[in-house]
Amino acid sequence: MRRWSVLGALAGLLLFALPGCRQADTVYCCAGGENDLLSLLEDEGYRVVRKDDVQRVLEQAPEASAVLLLSAGYPERAQALTPAQRALIREKRLRVFAEYATLSDTVPQPDTITFERVVVVDSLSPELCPMDLLSVNRGWYIRQQAEHPLMVIAKVAGFDTAVYGLAETPNYPLVYKAEENLWVSTSQLSNYARVRFAPDFRWKSFWETLMGDLLGHPVKFRTWESLVHPTYGEHQELPDSARLASVRRGVQWFFNGHFLVDSSWKAQWLDRYQGDGRMPVGPSLPDDAADGDGTLGILEGHCSAIDGNGRQAYRYWMRNDVQGEASMAFAIAGELFDRESYRRIASNLVDYSFDEFRDGPRNDPKSPTYGLLSWAVTTRNTYYGDDNARSILGMTLAADLLGNPKWDRKIMEAILANYRTTGIHGFRFGCLLEEDIQKHGWRYYHQRDLINLHAHFESWLWACYLWLYRQTGYEPLLTMCEDAISRMMEAYPDRWNWTNGLQQEKARMILPLAWLYRVSPTDEHRQWLEFMVSEFLKNQQPCGAIREELGDASYGSFGKVASNAAYGTGEAPLIFDNGDPIADMLYTCNFAFFGLNEAAHATGSETMIRATEQLSDFLIRIQAKSDRVRNVDGAWFRAFNYENWDYWASDADVGWGALSTLTGWIQSWIVTTQALMEMNTSYWDLTEGSTIGRNDRDLFEKMLE
């Protein structure tokens, strides 16, 4: 008896000592099933008393107590508070939060959130100031009016604040106070974890503020559940095995999301949602979907949209560049872990790429597009040089690691097909079309006096040409690259074109500069490389992240969003102003990581080695971890806010926002570079024994005569 008395007393003391929770704190609620907020309150030591329905809670709750009326019918059925219930709340002086609720006699049909975000209107806390932004993803809300809303739903531009305000922007209340003691939300907010609201620190502050108001004293939660989070904290010590584990999890992610197409679901999912390729977005695959083996290719990954149930949409589009890049990741993982199944997938992906994307005129030796790789299955007549370059680089490493020369000739043909449609100064332009090449012939493009100072589209083709020069000694490849690179260096930075930011253009230049120094190790080429790396590393943070940077707006393809109305209507950067603490894994960190490793091995520079290791550690830390959202576990999302250590940024880029993933561009280059570092080597050194170009020199005469 005494034992239980002592334990009870200790438990009471412990409960009283918990920050933000007092011994007498009791919350009365009505809710359906599991609920994130109620789980949090119970974990924090609060006493939660549940009742079956709203009326019973209001009747049985003691006077002046805290009451949560949480939605049980979301999204099909909102709850309506009757005049009698509101009168009871006033009479008993209850402090109430009612979610997904209306005070109207009739409940309006719910609306779906698309690109709208949550804007704070009235100052709620130091973390929730006017015009601060949060997200509730693509959930549902009921439109109603409120005289003084605290938070609204609106489509607004900005990184973490609504920079243009709410003028001339339709906005609707999300949270408001109907009366002094009655908080109302027009959407379900209490299941914030499973629906993956962001950013965490602001939603945590919201609930601390609201619960503090209901309980009548300040509340600070000791913990906060996030279903998807970085693998390590910013200052957490990394174990010696962290990089190897990151590679293993990075490859496993392909299977966690079932991105390898399987015949059992191809028709129902891929064929259904791919359409004409303009918006190939659909729901995520079931968790028990079968994994393919590469013979039917690999999907792109996630789009940034998360629905009201916390499920993140997929991009059901078959692109050539993704196939080649993924083949590289599987091949090097097969080498690192000695996994024959990975090698088999890599081989199948290379076969699929050549079979699917080098058909028709691309396979006719008399055609001027012979050897080119089409962009996607829905756009076979489009040729992006950069996409060709990344596919070629991926398949080249895969072919070498697999020790299979059967693709040698096709890979060399792909390089020369791009080379012969590149102008005399080494510039090809971003995109060429089948009908134009057929009309003009390849010589027209090879003889063009074209200058296109745009590293994103041009520079990695130079890397392909320099690699083939190493293999064959064909001098015009080197001469062309020296011409193009010298013009780029002379024009930096004032005349550089940029896509989503200037920093990503610098990132793309590191690789060709590193390989130029490999084949032509002059003082000038070393200076070019060191200068570009130093310019790039001006934005590297102590944690290893690379901060995004916008350039001169007159040279940018997709600069900061110009208005609230323009938000979510096209391509866009993750930041709004230079200085926003955002790293981009789709355009910058991924490609820079690969290039820096090549530069470090080419020069032995301690600065480059250290910068590469710092970036490696950063990427290890921010790799997504989740026990409950399996299809993102092991992924790298596009955006990371290194200041708040959270996945957050402007989500304006349509389809490719902050939480997008990509099996090719993002995942494959990060996995491959981490594996190269684990093996203490570079792509250049690893492929030194490649047979590509060694036995097919007749192609120079056949394709370039």
> Do 269 and 176 fall into the same domain?
no
> Do 420 and 377 fall into the same domain?
yes
- pLDDT value for 7: 34
Tens of pLDDT, residue by residue over 659-671, are: 999 999 999 999 9
Residue 607 domain-assigned (yes or no): yes
Identify which of 62, 68, 88 has the alpha carbon closest to the alpha carbon of residue 27.
68
- pLDDT value for 2: 32
Percent of the chain with pLDDT over 90: 93
Tens of pLDDT, residue by residue over 416-462, are: 999 999 999 999 999 999 999 999 999 999 999 999 999 999 999 99
> Do 47 and 196 fall into the same domain?
yes
pLDDT band, residue 276 (cuts 50/70/90): very high
Across residues 576-596, what is the average pLDDT? 98
Across residues 22-48, what is the average pLDDT? 91
pLDDT at residue 22 is higher than 90 = no
Give the mean pLDDT of the chain. Answer: 95
Pick from 169, 192, 226: which residue ends a domain? 226
Question: CATH number for the domain including 53?
Answer: 3.40.50
Pick from 197, 226, 255: which residue ends a domain? 226
> Do 518 and 429 fall into the same domain?
yes
- pLDDT value for 109: 86
Query: How would you label 178-194 residue by residue, b for 16+ Cβ within 10 Å and e otherwise?
Result: beebbbbbbbbbbbbbb
> Do 663 and 600 fall into the same domain?
yes
> Do 204 and 249 fall into the same domain?
no
In sequence order, what are the residues at sequence separation of 6 or more whose Cβ sits closer than 8 angstroms to the Cβ of residue 258? 285, 289, 290, 291, 631
Across residues 510-536, what is the average pLDDT? 98
Tens of pLDDT, residue by residue over 599-641, are: 999 999 999 999 999 999 999 999 999 999 999 999 999 999 9
- pLDDT value for 608: 98
> Do 206 and 329 fall into the same domain?
no
- Integer distance in angstroms from the first to the last C-alpha of the chain? 99
User: Domain tally for the chain?
Assistant: 2
pLDDT band, residue 231 (cuts 50/70/90): very high
> Do 633 and 531 fall into the same domain?
yes
pLDDT at residue 142 is higher than 50 = yes
- pLDDT value for 429: 96
In sequence order, what are the residues at sequence separation of 6 or more whose Cβ sits closer than 8 angstroms to the Cβ of residue 675? 247, 332, 333, 335, 336
Count of Cβ atoms closer than 10 Å to residue 126 Cβ: 7
Decide: residue 487, CB within 10 A, 0-12 exposed, 13-18 middle, 19+ buried.
middle
- pLDDT value for 15: 38
What's the domain range around 624? 242-704
pLDDT at residue 20 is higher than 90 = no
Count of Cβ atoms closer than 10 Å to residue 554 Cβ: 7
> Do 534 and 611 fall into the same domain?
yes
- Distances from the Cα of 530 to the Cαs of 233, 302, 487, 599, 603, in angstroms? 31, 36, 17, 9, 9
> Do 296 and 151 fall into the same domain?
no
Question: CATH number for the domain including 668?
Answer: 1.50.10.10
Residue 420 domain-assigned (yes or no): yes
pLDDT band, residue 24 (cuts 50/70/90): low
User: Which tokens hold the place of 397?
Assistant: 């490493």
Residue 4 domain-assigned (yes or no): no
- pLDDT value for 105: 83
- Distances from the Cα of 450 to the Cαs of 424, 426, 464, 492, 513, in angstroms? 7, 8, 19, 18, 21
Identify which of 515, 532, 526 has the alpha carbon closest to the alpha carbon of residue 478.
515
Residue 565 domain-assigned (yes or no): yes
The alpha carbons of the chain give a radius of gyration, in whole angstroms, of 28
- pLDDT value for 111: 93
- pLDDT value for 11: 38
To the question of pTM greater than 0.85 for the whole model, the response is: yes
